[in-house]
Amino acid sequence: MNLTYLEIDHDRSHYDALTGSDWDEFLDRLILGWLYHDHALEGVVITGDDIDRALSGQPCRNYCDGLVQKSLCRLRESALMLFDAERRPEELTMEWIKELHCHFCDPDDEVAGRYRQRDTSPGVYNLDVAPQNSISYYFHKFMDMWNDEIRHYHPVRAAAIAHWEFMHVFPFDQRSGVVGRVMMNWILVRGGYPPAIIHAMDRHHYFAALDGHRTDLIGVLVDAIRSTIEAARLFSERRLEAAEDARGHQLAL
C-alpha cells in the first residue's frame, strides 16, 4: 500500500471517532462546505446566505436564484445519500450515474440523463473528451475499466482514477463535473474513507490534474481528504473544550 494512504489511515482517528449527535452536526457542517466549494469549482459564486436561504426553503428572488437554490438542495440530497447505507447504491453502474444526472435536472429537462450534444467539454472545463458520436462507446468502456481494473485499487486511487476517466468521457452537456465528483466520493465513502471536498482555493490544481495524467488527481484527492480529517480534528477539539468549560462552570457554582 502506498505510504500516502497509510498516512491518511493514521491521521483519520478524529473523523472515525465521530458518532451520534456529534457526527450528525459535523456532517451538516461538512456538507455546507461541500456545497460552497463544489459550486465554486463550477464557477458559481455563492454565499452563506445563499445556502441558508436554499436549505430553509425561502422564496426565490429571481430565475437565476431559483436555479442556484435547486442546485444546492439537490447536491445536499446527493451528499446525504452517500452516508446513508440504505440509500447508497451497492454497485457503481451506468444506470445509477444516469439517474444521478437526472436528479440534478428538472423532471421535464430534455437533457436529463442524455448524452452530450457537442464535441467539446462545456462550461469551465477544457478537456480532451470523447467525440459526441462516440460517447456511448467510451462510457461503456469506462464502466468496463471500472469493473475489470479500477474497482480493485485502493479506494483513494480508485476514486481519483475513476473520476479522471469519467471526466474525459464527459457524457453530459451539463453537470458532468458535479455527477463525477459525487461518484468519486461514493467510491471513497463506500470504501470507508472520508469524502474529498476539493476546495475553491485548489481549483487550479484540480483542473491541471484533470488536464494531465490520470494519476495526477491522486494528490489532489489526498489533500482534500486531509482537509476533511483536519476539519474533524478541529471539530472534536472544540467540542472537548466546550465540554471542559461546561464542567468547570458547574464546579464553580
The ranges of the chain with pLDDT < 70 are: 1-3, 243-253
229, part of any domain: yes
- Indicate the number of domains in the chain: 1
C-alpha cell at 103: 436528479
Residue 170 lies inside a defined structural domain of this protein: yes
> What is the pLDDT at residue 246?
62
Do the domain assignments include residue 161? yes
Cα(75)–Cα(239) distance, rounded to whole angstroms? 27
pLDDT for 120 equals 86
**Residue 31 falls inside a structural domain:** no
Mean pLDDT of the chain: 93
pLDDT confidence of residue 10 = 86
Q: What is the pLDDT of residues 38-64, one digit of tens each?
A: 999 999 999 999 999 999 999 999 999
In this predicted model, what pLDDT tens digit does every residue of 182-210 receive, in sequence order? Answer: 999 999 999 999 999 999 999 999 999 99
Which domain does 124 fall in, by range? 3-19+92-252
Look at residue 245 in the predicted model and tell me its pLDDT.
Answer: 59
Q: Quick one: how far is CA 3 from the chain centroid?
A: 24
The CATH number of whichever domain residue 218 belongs to comes to 1.10.3290.10
pLDDT at position 243, please?
64
pLDDT digits (tens, 9 = 90+) for 124-138: 999 999 999 999 999
What's the CA gap between 215 and 161, in Å, rounded?
6
Q: Cβ(95)–Cβ(129) under 8 Å?
A: no
233 lies in some domain? yes
In a domain, 104, yes or no: yes
Instruction: Evaluate whether residue 70 is within a structural domain.
Output: no
Position 43 scores a pLDDT of: 94
- Asked if the structure places residue 184 within a domain, the reply is yes
Q: What is the percent of the chain where pLDDT is above 90?
A: 85
